[in-house]
Amino acid sequence: MPLLKGTSHINDRGVLTIGGVAADRLAERFGTPLFVYDEALIRERVRTFHRVLQAEGVDYDVAYACKAFCIRAMVELAQEEGLSLDVVSGGELYTAFISGFPPERIHFHGNNKSVEELELALQAGVGTIIVDNFVELERLAALIREGTCSRQGQPVNVLLRMTPGVHADTHAYISTGQEDSKFGFDLGSGQVAEAIRRVQEIPELRLTGLHMHIGSQIFSAAGYLAAVERLLGALPSLPQFSFDVLNLGGGFGIAHTEAEDAPPIETLLLDIVRGVKARFADAGYALPALWFEPGRSIVGEAGWTLYRVGSIKDLPGVRRYVAVDGGMSDNIRPALYGARYTALLANRAREAATETVTVAGKLCESGDVLIEAADLPPVRPGDLIAVPATGAYAFAMSSNYNRLPRPAVVFVRNGKARLVVRRETYADVVRFDRSLSADDEGSEDEASDDVGAFLKGEWG
Indicate which residues carry an active-site annotation: 364
Q: Which of 19, 103, 223, 249 binds ligand PLP (CB under 6 A)?
A: 249
- What letters, b where the CB count within 10 A reaches 16 and e where it falls short, cover 41-79? bbbbbbebbeebbeeeebebbbbbbbbbbbbebbbebbb
Task: Please name the amino acid found at residue 377.
Answer: P
Task: Give the x/- contact pattern for ligand PLP in 89-128, rule: CB under 6 A.
Answer: --------------------x-------------------
> HSE of 247 in the Cβ direction (CA atoms, 13 Å)?
31
Q: How far is the CB of 213 from ligand PLP (least distance, A)?
A: 4
CA dist., res. 37 & res. 410, Å (int)? 6
Q: How far is the CB of 8 from ligand PLP (least distance, A)?
A: 21
CA dist., res. 271 & res. 269, Å (int)? 5
> HSE of 331 in the Cβ direction (CA atoms, 13 Å)?
33
Q: How far is the CB of 247 from ligand PLP (least distance, A)?
A: 8
Residue with Cβ nearer ligand PLP (109 or 230): 109
Q: Which of 219, 252, 280, 291 binds ligand PLP (CB under 6 A)?
A: 252
Residue with Cβ nearer ligand PLP (49 or 252): 252
Q: How far is the CB of 170 from ligand PLP (least distance, A)?
A: 9
By the 8 A CB rule, do 63 and 83 touch? yes
Should residue 133 be labelled a site residue for ligand PLP when binding is judged by CB under 6 A?
A: no
Residue with Cβ nearer ligand PLP (369 or 396): 396
Q: Which of 7, 297, 390, 398 binds ligand PLP (CB under 6 A)?
A: 297
Q: How far is the CB of 299 from ligand PLP (least distance, A)?
A: 9
Q: How far is the CB of 67 from ligand PLP (least distance, A)?
A: 6
Q: Which of residues 373-402 bind ligand PLP (CB under 6 A)?
A: 392
Residue with Cβ nearer ligand PLP (16 or 93): 93
By the 8 A CB rule, do 394 and 330 touch? yes
Among 182, 210, 196, smallest CA distance to 276 is for 210
Residue with Cβ nearer ligand PLP (295 or 361): 295
**435 CB-contact burial (10 Å; exposed 0-12 / middle 13-18 / buried 19+):** exposed
CA distances from 315 to 318, 327, 359, 361, 382 (A): 5, 21, 14, 17, 20
Largest CA-CA distance found in the chain, in angstroms, rounded: 73
Describe the crossing of helices 115-124 and 90-98 by its angle, rounded to 10 degrees.
Answer: 30
- Of 54-62, 245-253, 315-323, 425-433, the window that binds ligand PLP (rule: CB under 6 A) is 245-253
- Of 15-23, 244-252, 377-385, 417-425, the window that binds ligand PLP (rule: CB under 6 A) is 244-252
What is the DSSP code (8-state) at residue 415?
A: T
Q: Which helix (H) or strand (E) holds 186?
A: strand 185-186
Q: Which of residues 38-97 bind ligand PLP (CB under 6 A)?
A: 65, 67-68, 86
By the 8 A CB rule, do 70 and 287 touch? no
Q: How far is the CB of 296 from ligand PLP (least distance, A)?
A: 4
Residue with Cβ nearer ligand PLP (248 or 357): 248
By the 8 A CB rule, do 280 and 210 touch? no
Residue with Cβ nearer ligand PLP (6 or 110): 110
Q: Which of residues 344-363 bind ligand PLP (CB under 6 A)?
A: none
Task: Please name the amino acid found at residue 151.
Answer: R
Q: How far is the CB of 92 from ligand PLP (least distance, A)?
A: 11
Count the site residues for ligand PLP by CB under 6 A.
17
Contacting residues for 202 by C-beta, under 8 A, at least 6 apart: 137, 140, 141, 144
Task: Give the x/- contact pattern for ligand PLP in 200-229, rule: CB under 6 A.
Answer: -------------x--x-------------
Pairing of β 303-315 and β 34-38: antiparallel
Q: How far is the CB of 223 from ligand PLP (least distance, A)?
A: 12
Task: Give the x/- contact pattern for ligand PLP in 257-296, rule: CB under 6 A.
Answer: ------------------------------------xxxx
Q: Which of 251, 326, 388, 407 binds ligand PLP (CB under 6 A)?
A: 251
Residue with Cβ nearer ligand PLP (173 or 285): 173
Q: Strand locations in 377-454, DSSP E?
A: 384-387, 408-413, 416-421
Name the residues that contact ligand PLP, by CB under 6 A: 65, 67-68, 86, 109, 213, 216, 249-252, 293-297, 392
